[in-house]
Amino acid sequence: MYNYFMDKILFAGLKKIYGNDILYKKEDLYPYAYDTSPNPDDIILPEFVVYPLNSKQVSQTILLCAKHKVSVIARGAGTCHCGSCRVKNRAVVLHFSKMDKILEIKKEDLTARVQPNAVIKKINEEAEKLNLFFPPDPSNLAVSTIGGAAALSSGGPRTFKYGSAKDYIINLEVVLSDGRIIKTGSNVAKNVTGYNLTSLFIGSEGTLGIITELTLRLIPKPEARMVTMAYFDSLIEAAGAVNNIINSGFTPATLDLLDKNTLNTIEKFNPCGLLCDKEAALLIELDGFRESLQIEKKKIFEILKSSNAAQITQAQNEEENEKIWRTRRSAFAAVTKLRPNVITEDVVVPRSKIVALVRGIEDMCKKHNIVVCIMGHAGDGNIHPNFALDLNNKEERENFNIVKDKLFSLAISLGGCLSGEHGIGSEKKKYLKDALDNGAIEYMEKIKKLFDPQNIINPYKMF
């Protein structure tokens, strides 16, 4: 079925840029109206989807859309959980699937230059061939693109030790709303030449400009790693172990927390020998030199035992390391087996408030009859509750909306924030005023207006 209501003049202009490489049939446009956030009642299809090959085409598209007062939305894998790439009005979607190249890796400079749709797992595989390492590690790194990671400043399990995407992106090529193409930084490790525009665009969710190239900072690859699973009879003991490890001066690459529901759900979906009778578990990864890892492992084991770990299991080789991580990364897919829909949320609290947050989530879900599997990056206080429900069930949907309101209110009351890596998008924008100072929001809105006075670059997100 064709979209007979499409803008014929805009279509003609896009054909001059892209030839026949344009989607315009309704059945072809539907996938681009969704991401992994909850399905809204008012699905809006983009008017067209195009596939740029370079920044020049992006610039031409923006100028054409500005002339016709049509929005432009950048899209990669579409795995965001907060509606960051959802269509909110008449829009052209720029799908970057054809800009997925790793352009170069310079070992001597510890840098990689990549296009926005380069997949993070592939970037790391190519870097590792030169004994280099790109630490940001989203759980769905096999499909997550570097452009999306930059737009949301994604981090993943390794953030506690290594930081997030913002710490490893040193330069961007960005197309602005007036069609200009700028570089925001330089390809050097240290740079305080003018304002840090690179950091301004990272985490902006594609609302200030469209990223068409990135320069990444790499580090030497750790020689080895060890993955440990520590099980506890209570959540409080697991959280206490996290504090004891950190207070003892250790910085594991990952310190992930999984509650009993999560352990049971992922073990049924992807068996790995997890102990499903325990209330909580910590997935701990150490990395570094082999000799030092043996010493660290011994001391970490001592700390875990003194923290009342009920049982500790240790991966014996890289194959077992990967097996545990494959199971951990399958959590979202596993929860889909419980109910027709899964909604993954993302809040951050001070590490000392993790137990209060998790207990609060459990209580609110029990009260409103919502199934939840709680996991997260305990080292940095970033908790991800996975809610399983049927969005077609009116009562469940209403109950979930109550739980969602309570979740964000609780996180803020504990001194936390709305998101550590999933962003705000269209799903969390109504909570922004509760989480930020009014003056801060005012200046964010001014920045948006400065970079995008016509409000055509991914509009109606965040504000």
DSSP-based three-state secondary structure for 399:
helix
The predicted-structure confidence for 189-240, as pLDDT tens digits, reads as follows 899 999 999 999 999 999 999 999 999 999 999 999 999 999 999 999 999 9
Q: Which residues, 6+ apart, have CB-to-CB distance to 330 below 8 Å?
A: 266, 269, 270
Mean pLDDT rounded to a whole number for the chain: 94
Give residue-wise pLDDT tens across range 329-356: 888 889 999 999 999 999 999 999 999 9
| CATH code of domain 224-332 | 3.30.70.2190
- Topology adopted by domain 338-444: Alpha-Beta Plaits (3.30.70)
3-class DSSP assignment, residue 73? strand
For position 373, what pLDDT does the model report?
Answer: 96
Q: In a 10 Å sphere around its CB, with 0-12 CB exposed, 13-18 middle and 19+ buried, how is residue 98 labelled?
A: middle
Residue range 102-220 forms a domain whose CATH class is alpha beta
Residues β-bridged to residue 373:
386
% pLDDT > 90, the chain: 89
Bridge pairing between strands 210-217 and 111-114: antiparallel
Quote the pLDDT of residue 7. 86
The reply to whether 102-220 and 338-444 are identical in fold is no
- Whether pLDDT at 4 is above 50: no
Distance CA 245, CA 255 (A): 10
Q: What is the pLDDT of residues 351-373, one digit of tens each?
A: 999 999 999 999 999 999 999 99
Q: Is 373 left (phi over 0), alpha (psi -120 to 50) or beta?
A: beta
Per-domain residue ranges for the chain?
8-95, 102-220, 224-332, 338-444
For the whole model, what pTM was predicted? 0.94
Residues 90-109: tens digit of each pLDDT: 999 999 999 999 999 999 99
* CA 199-83-459 angle, 5° bins: 65
SS (H, E, C) 81-132: CCCCCCCCCCEEEEECCCCCCEEEEECCCCEEEECCCCEHHHHHHHHHCCCE
The dihedral sign for the CA sequence 57, 59, 62, 63 = negative
Q: Is the pLDDT of residue 86 over 50?
A: yes
What are the tokens at 187? 């390809």
Tell me the fold of 8-95: 3.30.43
